[in-house]
Amino acid sequence: MIRILKYGEVPNSEIFARFMPTLDVADKVAEIIRNVRERGDEALREYTEKYDHARPESIVVTPEEMREALDCVEPDFLRILEKAAANIRKFHSRQVRNSFIINDEDGILMGQKVIPVDRAGLYVPGGTAVYPSTVLMDVIPAKIAGVKEVIITTPPGRDGKINPAILAAASVAGADRIVKAGGAQAIAALAYGTESVPKADRIVGPGNAYVAEAKRQVYGIVSIDMIAGPSEILVVADGASDPAYVAADMLSQAEHDKMSSAVLVTDSAELAEKVSAEIEKQIPQLIRAAIARESIDRNGKIIVAEDLRAAIDISNEIAPEHLELCVDNPFDYLDSIRHAGSVFLGRNCPEALGDYLAGPNHTLPTQGTARFCSPLSVDDFVKKTQYTYYTAEALRRVAKDVAAFAEKEGLTGHARSALIRTEQRQG
């Protein structure tokens, strides 16, 4: 049963305690990465057979497999995918950064170019659930950024095929290649390349502990978005909130994984008790009831705060992945939110809207990293190059200043490289 804690009456260490996965997989992941790096497709096939119990004929999804998948997906689901994709494109198109030039002084020009990476690798989880939504959320920003080749890696089923819903989403989003591989081995393939998988410049997307550790280990060989942990939701709700709504929203994340966390912070002790009762009532109604049960018992909590402002302070300290503000005037509090991955405003905005349809990205910072990390965006698929141009006269005006600065750092070669261009030299 979920715990109810009174803020100020229990230690802050209990209020702000966060479940941290303790599975040590670093050595296993390092071995997988080494093996894939050295043996390429052969190792990838072996790991797919070992962990996914499948040995597909082709590591890469063929055009025929794609056509078969699209033929068997319900037309209504395709319609929903297109609708979600349109919303995601609308939102992420506003994130596009422009190159710029500064030329406000004679003889001096400087600027910045915004350049997409050549190739992006996008990890889409599999196993206990299927996530076509993640395909849309990861591929569409990459395409908007202008990435030339977008590669999806996702584990196949026992039949050696990718779930049709995943392939349908990949088609709608515009993915260029889909690789039948999951886990650390997929990250290794994207980082180093194999016979069938081109080396990526950037790897994004959530995954299990093996995927997270693999991303950590290959960072520097390639760029990554973030190290994502288990899903989490924090609901700030006042006493007028419907306890059934709040409980349902908390369980929407608890059902993801037994390591997920669902937290309610409220100014109403009465609502706390009612939500606790609703959670007990609703868990048995879920298909993934066993997962939600363990998540709630292990990581769930309800915190009773003095008022809503205190509740916001608690939320900022926790820095949740998903934050719901279940109050009548949520915009009154929005400016006070400093640390959260994605915020859902009002009583009619469940977090599930963000997972599937609304448009903002659902690949978000977890484990308190919202204090310094951002949601996946178009920015994750571009890099910047800066440039500078000076005429001879423009350099002459500043050469002595450059030299003085360089000499202060003891770098006389730097000083000389500026001054030599201003000196009269004998032929």
Closest by CA to 284, choosing from 251, 319, 325, 245, is: 251
Closest by CA to 236, choosing from 314, 335, 348, 145, is: 314
User: What stretch of H or E contains 35?
Assistant: helix 26-39
Q: Which of 92, 256, 322, 339 is catalytic?
A: 322
Q: What are phi and psi of 268, to 5 degrees?
A: -125, 115
CB under 8 Å, gap of 24 or more: what pairs does 414-423 form? 421/392, 421/395, 421/396, 422/395, 422/396
CB under 8 Å, gap of 24 or more: what pairs does 283-287 form? 283/251, 286/251, 286/255
The per-residue b/e assignment along 271-309, b for 16 or more CB within 10 angstroms, e otherwise, is bbebbbebbeebbeebebeebbbbbbeebbbbbbbeebe
Q: Please say if 322 is a catalytic residue.
A: yes
Q: Which of 65, 321, 324, 351 is catalytic?
A: 321
Starting at the earlier edge strand, list the strands of the sheet with 342-345.
Answer: 3-6, 301-304, 261-266, 232-237, 322-326, 342-345
Structure tokens at 167: 């392939």
Q: What's the rounded Cα separation, in Å, for the pair 132 and 351?
A: 17
Q: Given its phi and psi angles, is residue 54 left (phi above 0), alpha (psi -120 to 50 degrees) or beta?
A: beta
Q: Please say if 414 is a catalytic residue.
A: no
Q: In Å, what is the CA distance from 307 to each residue of 153, 203, 262, 265?
A: 46, 42, 20, 10
Contact status, residue 166 vs residue 138, Cβ threshold 8 Å: no
3-state SS assignment for residue 423: coil
DSSP labels for 303-348? EE-SSHHHHHHHHHHH--SEEEEESS-THHHHTT--S-SEEEESTT
CB count in 10 Å sphere of residue 181: 31
Residue with tokens 């060989």: 221
Q: What's the rounded Cα separation, in Å, for the pair 233 and 296?
A: 12
Contact status, residue 141 vs residue 381, Cβ threshold 8 Å: yes
CB count in 10 Å sphere of residue 233: 25
Q: What's the rounded Cα separation, in Å, for the pair 209 and 182?
A: 12
Residues tagged active-site: 321-322
